[in-house]
Amino acid sequence: MFAQCLCRSLRRLAPVLAAGFPWFAAAQSDFQGATHMVPFEEDTISYNKTPSTGPVARLQTRLDRGEIKLTFDPKTGWRDSLLAALSVSPKSQTLVFSKTSLQRERIAPQTPRSVFFNDEVYIGWIPGAPVMEFSEVDPKLGGVFYTLEQTESDKPKFVRNNQCLECHASAKTMGIPGHLIRSFKTDEQGIIDLITGVSEVNHRTPLEDRWGGWYVTGTHGKVTHRGNLYGKTAFLKAEEKPNYLGNLTSLKPLVDLTDYANPTSDIVALMVLEHEAHMHNYLTRLHYETQMSLSRYQHIRYLRSMAEGFLKYLLFMEETPLKAKVKGTSGYADYFASLGPKDHRGRSFRQFDLESRLFKYPCSFLIYSEAFDLLPKPMREHLLQRLHEILTGQDTSPEFAGLSADRRKAILEILLDTKPNLPGYWRGEAPRAEAPAIPETVR
């Protein structure tokens, strides 16, 4: 009863909150504001009992079989060898100095944590810390967490660590084991001020609210952000002189990064990281909910609005507009854009815009990921069906009205050229034979 009342008054308050706090509106559209924990330890998901098949698990198998060897550096440990073994570019490095980790005492503005990433693994490295931290993307389990001891050994061992879930499975990660990207002001030591932050940064978050607790290298015109600032004095100064530590192309005046993989915390890498972490969480939540719904009801009809929310995120419908040109410093943008896949006209979802939005063609590159392709069949089919309706203009719902006809067409063409195993009706080869996974009547 009480919960119901609370829900109703929250719903009534939503427009008011959304006006003052844009991210509230955005968070709302994910799950109508519901961020309850999914019971992932129970039988349907069985998170802890299920072995992972993600990139770290696969690397461990190769290490155990002697197919690959890692090299240990006395200063930086396994870092560089691991980046190479997991195909993660050092250019993806971002630097976070807020004390948020199991190794929080090691993190500070003078010793930030490096976070490196590719499409399926995130790596944390802190100078001198006893362990490296990993979160990998298992297509079925979602985020799986490991530590690796930073001591020389013939048999390096990644240890799956569920202590990490204390923070990495909460309302802030969509109620599933997942990834966290936040923005909080900190003091001189990197201790966060809990009142002043955004606890779930993604591509919808205005730049002005991002990067509290992070270093940022790159230029962004007149637009301000919270990066590179710590301690009261710095924030006061930034109020008087906006961007006093913005538009930095080097962090040299602020921190000694001699032992780091490179001296950057690239603004474009940060923006991709933020899009991606939320996307991974969304995919996992959708996967879990689909499994549970199929096991309980043998259909996925009740997941309609969740699937629509997912498509909106996939197609960057509520992306925050960029108000100035953004340019990074590490070469990450060129590296990332070169990864493709490209269509026969050279277009790809990894091509950047960086003037008015993040990507030129607003459809997430994670549509190529295993996490998308291995969604339970009824959900994958439903999403592809809706996507086809949206991209061919059959869908005229207001949710997707912001996607211009040109962009719809471009995305459709790129997908047809680059994504294998699309249903036959996408290519006009066969009528849409299968009954829709979610019949029209219940949409």
Interaction site with ligand HEC (CB under 6 A): 96, 98, 100-102, 115, 122, 124, 133-135, 143, 145-147, 161, 163-164, 166-168, 179-182, 213, 277
**Min dist. Cβ of residue 182 to ligand HEC (A):** 4
**Min dist. Cβ of residue 241 to ligand HEC (A):** 26
**Min dist. Cβ of residue 55 to ligand HEC (A):** 12
**Min dist. Cβ of residue 317 to ligand HEC (A):** 24
Q: How far is CA 410 from CA 308, 335, 347, 348, 432, in A?
A: 21, 23, 9, 10, 22
Tell me which residue of 98, 103, 279, 274 sits closest to 201, measured CA to CA: 274
Does 139 sit behind a cis peptide bond, omega within 30 degrees of 0 on the bond before it?
no
Q: Decide if 139 contacts 167 (C-beta within 8 A).
A: no
**Min dist. Cβ of residue 105 to ligand HEC (A):** 11
How far is 438 from 421, CA to CA, in rounded Å?
21
How far is 410 from 407, CA to CA, in rounded Å?
5
How far is 220 from 207, CA to CA, in rounded Å?
9
Give the sign of the dihedral formed by CA 224, CA 225, CA 230, CA 231. Answer: positive
* Nearest to ligand HEC of 122, 400 (CB atom): 122
Tell me which residue of 139, 146, 143, 144 sits closest to 161, measured CA to CA: 146
* Nearest to ligand HEC of 119, 343 (CB atom): 119
**Min dist. Cβ of residue 231 to ligand HEC (A):** 17
* Nearest to ligand HEC of 163, 250 (CB atom): 163
* Nearest to ligand HEC of 179, 347 (CB atom): 179
How far is 306 from 53, CA to CA, in rounded Å?
26
**Min dist. Cβ of residue 116 to ligand HEC (A):** 9
* Nearest to ligand HEC of 177, 263 (CB atom): 177
**Min dist. Cβ of residue 142 to ligand HEC (A):** 10
* Nearest to ligand HEC of 79, 179 (CB atom): 179
**Min dist. Cβ of residue 306 to ligand HEC (A):** 22
* Nearest to ligand HEC of 53, 199 (CB atom): 199
* Nearest to ligand HEC of 124, 227 (CB atom): 124
- Tokens at 97, concatenated: 């100095």
How far is 385 from 425, CA to CA, in rounded Å?
9
**Min dist. Cβ of residue 176 to ligand HEC (A):** 12
Reading phi first (left if > 0) and then psi (alpha if -120 to 50, else beta), residue 128 is in: left
Q: Decide if 220 contacts 267 (C-beta within 8 A).
A: yes
Question: What does the chain come to in residues?
Answer: 443
Residues 6+ apart with CB under 8 A from 139: 53, 54, 287, 369, 370, 371, 373, 374
Q: Decide if 230 contacts 238 (C-beta within 8 A).
A: no
Q: Decide if 312 contacts 197 (C-beta within 8 A).
A: no
How far is 367 from 365, CA to CA, in rounded Å?
5
* Nearest to ligand HEC of 275, 380 (CB atom): 275
